[in-house]
Chains A and B, each alone.
Chain A
Amino acid sequence: MIFQIILLIMLAYVVGFIYFGLYRNITARIQSRYGPSVYQSFYDSIKLFSKKNTVNFGWMFYLGPVIMATGAILTLVLIPIFSDSDFLRSVTSQGNLFVLLYLMVLGPLGNALAVGTGGNPFGVMGVVRGLTRLIGLELPFYIAVVGLIIAANSSDIVHIIDLQKTTGLNIINHPLLFIGAMISMVGFFGESPFDIPGAPQEVYSGPRTEFSGKFLALLMSQGSLFAFAKLVLIVDLFLGGADSLEMLILKTFAIFVTIIFIGVVYGRYKVEQAVDFLMKLPTLIAVLGLARVVWFG
């Protein structure tokens, strides 16, 4: 089991970084540039790890990124990666969707503590924007997840995956829920138009303002792990999971590319615009999907 966990983390690390490299490449191509190397994220992270000094504002500042990374890894191991496989099944069976929903916020909150300790007002502004954005951002996603749970009458992800084998994929059964969840996902990936918390031009890159060196590297690494975890979650919930590594990569990449395409073409919303928007159309779509599940499912 421990071996499997290490394997999983490494897989997620590699895949996550490569995805981010691809993301930067694809973005560049859309903007008619060449773009950096696919492995640029590796370079960045190794460079940051090997920085010769790092600012540290105290122990809470030190622990913040660690908590965030812990949250990401815990999220990762609690999501079933493969359907029809015993891979880490004994671990994933200990949690369920609600645990995941809240674990996804635990990391950012731990990081927010570190940002607060840093004492940079811009960092805190970024955190507050992030948390405010969360009010709107989680709404469509929650509705989608709740809809799926009610449809499957279980908050166990494995059960939801299994159910899709008999009833068909959820993306087809519940397209409205899928749209809602995807719009939220754009925000969860920090993409435009919901990327206000870390806007460099306004709040000095927000929560990450004071982080440097190994802390920044750790944050980047957990970001890629976390991104992978979120992609797998979407695949599990809507695309019926993946029974092999190829399918996993294919499906997650499909989702990822969709998110990139949405993100690249939009400008940035102000935080209140973002929340207002999220509480209108995406929420409405998701609620319609939910109503369909509750009343006609």
Chain B
Amino acid sequence: MNSIFLLLNLLPILFLYQFGGALHVELNFTSSFTLSLIQTPLGTFFAYLSMISFLLVTIAQKSKKFSFSYYMLQLLLSLAMFMIVLAGDFITFFIGWEIMTWSSYFIISKSKNIDTKSLQKYILFSLASAFSLIAGMVIAYSFAHSFDFSVISSAFRDMPFNIQITLIVLFSLSFFTKAGVIGLHYWVVDTYSKAPDLFSSILSAVMSKMGIYGLFLIYGHIVGYQELKMMFGTILNGTNFGYTLAWIGVATSIIATFKAITQDEVKKLLAYSSIAQLGYIITVIGFGTAYGVAGAMYHTLIHTIIKLLLFINVAAIVAQTGKSKFSELGGLIYRTPVSFVMLLIGIIGLAGMPPLGGFASKFMMYNAAIDTKFALILIGMLFSGAASFLYCYKLVYGIYLGHPTSKNLETTKEVPISYLIPQIILALLLVLTGAFPGAFIKVINPVLVEFSLSTIPYSGLGVMNSAVGSFNGLFIISAFVVFFVLILLLITRIKSKAKNNLNRFDISYCGEVPAQDTSLHFGFGFGADLHKIKFANAILKRSSSSFYESLATQTKKTSELFSRMYYGNIHNTMLIILLFFSALFFIGVN
């Protein structure tokens, strides 16, 4: 079954490749609107991104038995995303969006550790997002008299200012919810952590990107960056709008980063990290400059790769050990070395360290911020990047390093090969994007042309150009490798008899001998210090959950209040009807 669906997942890619950029389908849906698929450079990028992700996840799924319905729903989900990114009008977009919502809902509901509350959270936020989208859609329709993107885009200029604002806010809210901007991220963490392990990778790597695609669509295509500039005016070298959006993004990434550090569940940490990374994208997406768009797109690519890699890795470990918490894992490095290396590459990318692709995208984003002189924004991004080292380290330490916290971790075997293949592919991609950051400029430039922005100069595969500087990824990665090998050779020449492979209890422990039950793994101790730091504590002790929970309580109370009216006394019902009549009569006659 897996192979069949693997082939089925290949089909959209072939389909897209076959059309080669000229896909245009229109279908009369009802008398008043048509369904249309149009291939734009932006859509093509996202289409390939999501389809290849699905392919890789399907490869990983070979290792476990999944039901037919699971595969079917996943295929449906991939087709829905295909529909979203190639949609030429809002109806198509929305249909794809909603199919995506419910098909993912049913996949999530197949998870073993899902509960009703998390499912409710997921679907309600998704629906809120969809309803916000639909509201924007119909309001736009009321002015443009069409759901077509291009028609709405040309009609946008003539709308009243408050309608323009409303539209931007509604669409942004919708896509922010999907991307999990702070405040609207209430569903993200629970859903990502409780979804089927391999499906979390799709949720984080692909589905959240649909929100990003939506933002691109709105800011770049429907509204247009030039129009945004005209509407809101400029500040420094960017737009006021971009500045506001950037603060939202920066706040998201900083808050989520701190929250990520204190998580005990592996997938919760990854979920928060996902929120933080998407925060970066949202930060630069509104700048309205070529480098902003390029940085956002590059980071979209990198984040997809990294989160697929990390979630597949974690899924494999969870499947192999049955543990999903840092406090229950640890010390797997010599049991599952390949997995360890893959995760290591993943976190080096996640932290944005130079030799890998993670740095290239961060570089692009930072330069975009410098280009617009949004210095504080840039500081915020750098700050959140610095804090993210902590959770990156926690991720790799909590699972692979340190001490195993239970007996069965000491006998774990390496994860199945089908988990490793996609990871290896993704790790290679990460290395390649780091070595050849320039190659991506060729992908970005058509999109920039589509958004009528200036293009980015291209000077070689290895070179990443930007407004205020450039670096050569190929040089850095090769220099790193050369120095690494040289130092390694040098150090191995010094043959002081290294006593290899000491027993894990043979550590300097103040003269004491740690026993089997001594707690040596520091996995869940991370982030305890953060509570003492005033700034971090201010972030950590606040939570949006109290707001949403009180909202739920209020809804429940309202519901109880209303249902008290329906208490079944027919006599009173009769009197109410008569009184209502009298009241209406009294009002009507006067």
Binding site for B on A (CB under 8 A): 49-58, 60, 62-63, 65-67, 69-70, 73-74, 77-78, 91, 94-99, 101-103, 105-106, 109, 112-113, 116-122, 124-125, 127-129, 131-132, 134-136, 138-139, 142-143, 146-147, 149-150, 153-156, 204, 209-210, 213-214, 218, 270-272, 275-276, 279, 287, 290, 293-294
Contact = CB atoms under 8 A, between A and B. Distances in A.
Contact of A57 (B355, B387, B396, B502): B502
B373 A96 contact: no
A66 B488 contact: yes
B393 A127 contact: yes
29 contacts: A52-B496, A53-B498, A53-B499, A54-B497, A54-B499, A57-B501, A57-B504, A70-B480, A74-B479, A74-B480, A97-B469, A103-B353, A117-B333, A119-B402, A124-B522, A128-B525, A128-B526, A128-B529, A135-B390, A138-B383, A138-B386, A149-B370, A150-B373, A155-B468, A213-B498, A271-B532, A272-B532, A276-B535, A293-B375
Contacts of A97: 469
B347 to A, nearest CB: 9
Interface of B: 236, 331, 333-334, 340, 344, 348, 351-355, 359, 362-363, 366-367, 370, 373, 375-376, 378-379, 382-383, 386-387, 389-390, 392-393, 396-397, 400-403, 468-472, 475-476, 479-480, 483-484, 487-488, 491, 494, 496-502, 504, 506-510, 519-522, 525-526, 529-530, 532-536
B508 A275 contact: no
A146 B370 CA distance: 8
Contact of A150 (B362, B375, B472, B535): B375
Nearest to B531: A272
Given A52-B496, A54-B498, A294-B236, A109 B483 contact: no
Given A69-B487, A96-B470, A279-B535, A120 B396 contact: no
Contact of A109 (B393, B479, B532, B534): B393
B469 A66 contact: no
Contacts, number: 236
B502 to A, nearest CB: 6
Given A55-B499, A63-B488, A73-B487, A131 B370 contact: no
B32 to A, nearest CB: 51
Lowest 4 A-B CB distances belong to which pairs? A116-B401, A155-B469, A272-B532, A96-B469
A132 B536 CA distance: 10
A70 B331 CA distance: 26
Contacts of A57: 501-502, 504
Given A154-B469, A155-B367, A294-B375, A70 B397 contact: no
Contacts of A117: 333, 401
A112 B526 CA distance: 14
Contacts of A293: 375
Contact of B366 (A98, A204, A213): A98
Nearest to A295: B236
A147 B378 CA distance: 10
Nearest to B521: A121
